[in-house]
Each structure stands twice: as structure tokens, then as C-alpha cells.
Chain A
Amino acid sequence: MPLGSVLFAFVVGALIVGVTGANPFSAYASLICGGFGIACTQGENPALQISSTIVFLIPLITTGVAVALPFRAGLFNIGAEGQLLAGSMACTAIGIKFNTLPTPILLPMVLVGGMVAGALWAGVPGVLKATVGAHEVVTTIMLNYVAQWLLRYLIIGGPLQLGPGTSKSLPIGDGARLATILPASNSLIIFGLPSSVFRVHTGLLIALAAAAAFAFLLWRTSFGYEIRAVGQSQKAARYAGVSVRRTIIVTMLIAGAFSGLAGAVQIAGVDHNLTDKYFSDTTGFDAIAVALLGLGSAVGIVLASILFGALHSGGAIMQSDSGISGNLVLVLQALILFSIAANFVGQIRRLLPGFGKPAPLPPELPPAAGLMSGAAATPPEVT
């Protein structure tokens, strides 16, 4: 089903490109070149494109996990973006304040600081959901915007601003930075380019560890069992002795910690300061597509992150090579979401007899579909 959804999106995307009078084949060729470094026509360096894709996919894995984990508990975390921003703000604030500390102390501090900030940002919706039944979709949306405006305040006129008239923060201390995987040298030539242009950083290992931790937590711990039990049926979980309230709150805290980590790693590994680029960051929304396309599994999330990382990296090349706006990537992403949610592929197969077996209806999704039901209106009972 996921591959079908991607195919569906690319076919409809090609139609949109074609209808507006451009050549979809050259658009997709440059998209693939930008994403995977293959079939390039304008002399792009394949290694550089792959490096760019990896840099993009790192935060997608971690935030994808932050969306997928609550899914398993029947919670829809639309707030990964706000949690990520909270993490990046905390990381930057700590990295500036203690900029003289050495790496072994400061790096853990900024990463843990980011996780704590993200956890708090997700904890509020968790507590509101568990106590008064406030719907987490709405509360996380609100907190996304609170985080965005807080970010603007901090770096425009606020305490982290680099200087008057700028819209970026001071840089974090050297001790707060994650190393790149290749040495950051201008004289060392790798793949025909100075090694410093390859920005892949050790955050990749952190992201992969996050995906592994997610899988371990979900399938190998008793809390993971509780998360899944609550996601299947709150009532049944309660009869089995699971505290639904506690599970909801802790699940959101952990999810927020993952998103916050993604934000902290982005600052520590790539940007080293907050900039206005973060105003229009969409990682936390891409994460929803990543989690759905990855069917909520760790391996699926990593694979979906590779796809979306490649799309982001490819979008820039598509724009410069074939003159098609990189925003086509957003269109493709939305089409993938529509297709997964509505199970278009299954529907088409149902309509064509003899074309595989009938697909189930309604679509098999992580248990997000039922979450607007009674659970939204009534808080979980006290056990």
C-alpha cells in the first residue's frame, strides 16, 4: 500500500505539472538527481546530493517517531513541529549561555535540554487530554503557533538576538556542536570536493538510535504494551489494569522528547544558531506523512524519511535545473497523505475485478481514525 500511495502521488503530480504546461519527465528526472544523485544532467556531484538528502532525513526520522509513538496509543500528535522548535530554542539558549563549557559536558546538556523542552511542550497536551479530555489535535496545533511566535520573539528583539536588525540568534558554543562524519576540512578532497561541504553529521546516529529506541520501547517493554493496549481500546486497557491517564501523559512526554531531540540535533549538527529559516520549517508536518507512510514501524519510518529527505533535497535541484518550483514537493507530499488516508489504491483495486484481492474498507491505519470519537469529549475515567 505505501508504494502504491507514492506511485499515485507521482502520477497525479505529473498530471498537475503537465496540465500547467511543463514537462513532468524532466521535472522528475531533476528531482531524482537532486535526491539520489543519479541521472544528473547538469553536472551535479552525486555524493553531494546524497549527503544533502541524509542531512534532510535526520530530523524526519526522529520526528517521525514522535508522531508514530502517540499513534500507537490512539493519539494524534500534530505538534511535533512546535516540540521541535521548543527543543531547538532550548538547545540554542543553553548552547549560548554556557558557550565556554567543553563538549563532553555541553553537548549532553544541549541535547537533554532540547528533549526536556520538547517533552514539556508535548506534556501540556498530554495532561490536558488525560485530565479534561481536551483534544490533543487542537492543543498541539495551538502550541505549534505559540512556539513559532516565541521563536520570533527570541531572535527578533528578544534575549537571543544576535544584534539589532538581525533575525537570528547568537551562535552556540563550539562545545555544543555535533561533529560532521567527514572531517570539516577544506584541503581534504573527497568525491571531488572539499570534505567540508559534506554536512552529514553524527546526528544521523542519534536519529537511528531514536528509531531503534522507539521499536524497543513499543515491542519489548511493558510500557510499550500499555501504549498499544490503550491504542486498541481504552476500556479494555483499563480492565487489564493499565492507567490510561498515565499512559497518555507519558506517551506524549516521550514523543515530545523525541521531537525536542530532533530540534536540538538540528541546531547542534547543522545550523549552530536559530535563524528565520525556522519560521517556515515544516519538519514536524512532514513527520506526519513519514509516520503514516512508514506504517508506524521503525524500519518504515527510516525508509519513508529517506524518501522525504530525497524529495526535499531534490526540490532545490528541480527548481534550478528544470525551473519547476520546489513546492511541487509539498503537492506530492499532500497527495501521498490523501492516498494513504483514503486508501485510494485499495479502492482502485476493488473497482477492477481480477486485479488482486479486494482491499479492506475502511483503510487500515494506525488507530488515529477513532480518536475523534467519544474519547475526545469525555476524559478517561479514573482508575
Chain B
Amino acid sequence: MSGLGDILHLLVTANLWQATLAAAVLLLLPALGGVISERSGVVNIAMEGMMLTGAFFAVVADLAWHNVWLAVGVAVLAGALMALIHAVVSIQFRADQIVSGIAINIFAAGLTVFLVNRIYGLQDVGHVGQNEGIPYINVPGLDQIPFIGKVLFQQNVVVYIALVLLVLVHVVLFRTRLGLRIRAVGEHPQAADTAGINVYLIRYSAVISSGLLSGLAGAFLAIGVSNTFVPNMTDGRGYIALAAMIFGKWTPFGAFVACLIFGLGQAIYDNNSIIHISPYLLSMLPYLLTLIVLAGLVGRSTPPAADGLPYVPGSE
């Protein structure tokens, strides 16, 4: 049994890459949200909390109404609502955006467990029925392609949605007037304001988008990948998404590459029966890699110029 040989063997299995893509999408959605929000100049470390809120409300809604799409909608709205709090506090009240982000994350962690207790008492939340989770769909024809078919076309619906969103966010940010406005607001809000762009509107929309995307990721986690809610089930994924955003230099595809790397780590972790390294040591990798990137060893990663600065109309 050679460890290296086992890993190499694992790397050529389609199962591994199928799992990698699914794990990557779980990170990609909040990472895209982070990219949009920070490109507009609002620092967002609250994806963890928005995702957790989405996960919780997806399960609550699915258990109550037995309709998966309604549940996804509720989760997305719940994420957006948390984002709205972040937006009001940090845009309207010009609060420190990091403090607000931390507060969102603590708020979500506390509120979800508090509500579990209020709604379900001291028992478990309960499990979503087998046919009431977000479905996995094989794309007819394409799913028969050797290797690629399994990796790309035998996935959860959310995976397909996320890949479309990835392209969409990229195109909007870099190929449309709206994207130009978002980036202008994030780089130089005063100039953007002078040019007639509504800075507050752009920033509100961007932050709320990050909540929509994180809420969707939460729904995917709770009623797609899993079938119930457990306290703190996001387990740092929102923060890994933050890392992916930085790793990818605030671009959608850059973030996606980072998510794939982190997702591969997760997939190998889940297959750890043949890996002889402690899974816990392996789990450090995304964070250590991000530190290395931040240290400038793999090229500089620079945030948008006005990232984190509240905009005061009429200021210098």
C-alpha cells in the first residue's frame, strides 16, 4: 500500500471529480456573492452567517410545506434579509463593515439555534423526506460521455445553476454598463456619484445579491447535500468562500479556480480511508494556501480601492 499511488489512483476516478465540483459549488456561490459585494466597495465577511440562515430556513420551509422550490426561495430570501441588515448597518449607518459582518455571523449562529429550540423544542429538527430535497438531474445524452459525463452532467440542479451564475456574474461585472458602474462605485464612489451613478442603490443591490447567493448555497447544503439542519452546519464554508474570493483576486473565475482547489481538498478528505494523513491536517490546507497567496508568494491580491469605506455624499 503506497500512499502516493493510492492518491494518484483516486485522482483519476470520476467519482472524486464529481464530488469536487459539488463541494466547489458550495463555496462558489458565497464567493460570487463576496466578489459582487466587495467590487461595489462593501467588505463582506458575513457569507457564513447568511449561508447558515439560508440552510436553516430551507429546512424549516421544506418541512412545513413539502415543496422544495418554495424552500429554496425561502432560503434565498432569508439570506437576502440577513444581507439587508448588513447593508443597512454598513451603508446607511456607515458602521464598520467588519464589525457588522462579525455581528451577522454571530447573530445567525445564535438565532438559528434559538429558533430550532422555539420551533422544534429540544428534539432534532427532523429530516427532509427523500423526494423533498433539491433533485439531482442527469442531463440526457451528455451524462453518457465517459468521465466528463459523470463529473459535469450527473449533478445537483444547484450545480448547474451555479455554473450559469458564474458566467453571468463574470459577464455582468466585466462586459456590461451595470458591471462598470459596480466597479466604479467600488473603486471611486465620489467620481461615480459625480457621473450620476446612485452609489447607495448599487451598493445595496450588490450586498443583497451576496445574500441571495449565500442563501442558495445554504439551501444546497441543507436540503441538497444533506437533508436536515444541524447547528453551525456551514462549518466555516463562508469563510473559505471569503478565502477563495481573495485567492481569486476578486474575480468570478479566479474564485472558481480557488473553489475547485478547496473542493478537491474536501473531496479527498471525504475519501480519507485511503489517505494516511490526518483529515484534520488536510482541512488546514485552504487556509494555509490563502495565507501563502496573501503573503504575495503567488502574486499580489489587491482589493478594490474603496473596499470597506462608507460613502458619505459630498465628501472628498
Contact = CB atoms under 8 A, between A and B. Distances in A.
B295 A128 contact: yes
Nearest to A155: B280
Given A142-B291, A335-B107, A342-B100, A327 B117 contact: yes
A377 B309 contact: no
Contacts of A149: 280-281, 283-284, 287
A334 B93 contact: no
B117 A325 contact: yes
A342 B242 CA distance: 23
A376 B116 CA distance: 39
Contacts of A368: 96, 98-99
B313 interface: no
Contact of A143 (B95, B111, B291, B308): B291
A333 interface: yes
Contact of A78 (B94, B98, B111, B116): B98
B246 interface: yes
A368 B310 CA distance: 12
Interface string A110-150: 00000000000000100010001011011101110110011
B305 A372 contact: no
A207 interface: no
Interface in B78-105: 85, 89, 93-100, 102-104
A73 to B, nearest CB: 15
B113 interface: yes
B73 interface: no
Nearest to A362: B94
B302 interface: yes
B308 A376 contact: yes
Interface in B105-140: 106-107, 109-111, 113-118
A145 B294 contact: no
Interface residues of A, number: 64
B117 A337 contact: no
B291 A369 contact: no
A97 to B, nearest CB: 20
A285 interface: yes
A145 B284 contact: yes
A372 B285 CA distance: 26
A285 B96 contact: no
A189 to B, nearest CB: 34
B307 interface: yes
B118 A325 contact: yes
Interface string A1-20: 00000000000000010001
Given A78-B98, A152-B280, A338-B103, A139 B115 contact: no
Contacts of B300: 132
Interface in B258-316: 278, 280-281, 283-284, 287-288, 290-291, 294-296, 300, 302-303, 305, 307-310, 312
26 contacts: A22-B118, A139-B294, A142-B288, A145-B236, A146-B288, A146-B291, A149-B287, A157-B278, A157-B280, A158-B280, A292-B99, A324-B117, A331-B107, A334-B106, A335-B103, A335-B107, A337-B100, A338-B100, A338-B107, A341-B95, A347-B93, A362-B310, A362-B312, A368-B96, A374-B305, A376-B303
Interface of B: 43, 45, 85, 89, 93-100, 102-104, 106-107, 109-111, 113-118, 232, 236, 239, 242-243, 246, 278, 280-281, 283-284, 287-288, 290-291, 294-296, 300, 302-303, 305, 307-310, 312
Given A145-B284, A337-B99, A342-B94, 10 more contacts: A78-B98, A134-B296, A146-B287, A153-B280, A157-B278, A338-B89, A362-B310, A363-B95, A371-B308, A372-B308
Interface of A: 16, 20-22, 76, 78, 124, 128, 132, 134-135, 137-139, 141-143, 145-146, 149-150, 152-153, 156-158, 280, 282, 285, 288, 292, 323-325, 327-335, 337-338, 340-344, 347, 361-363, 365, 368-374, 376-377
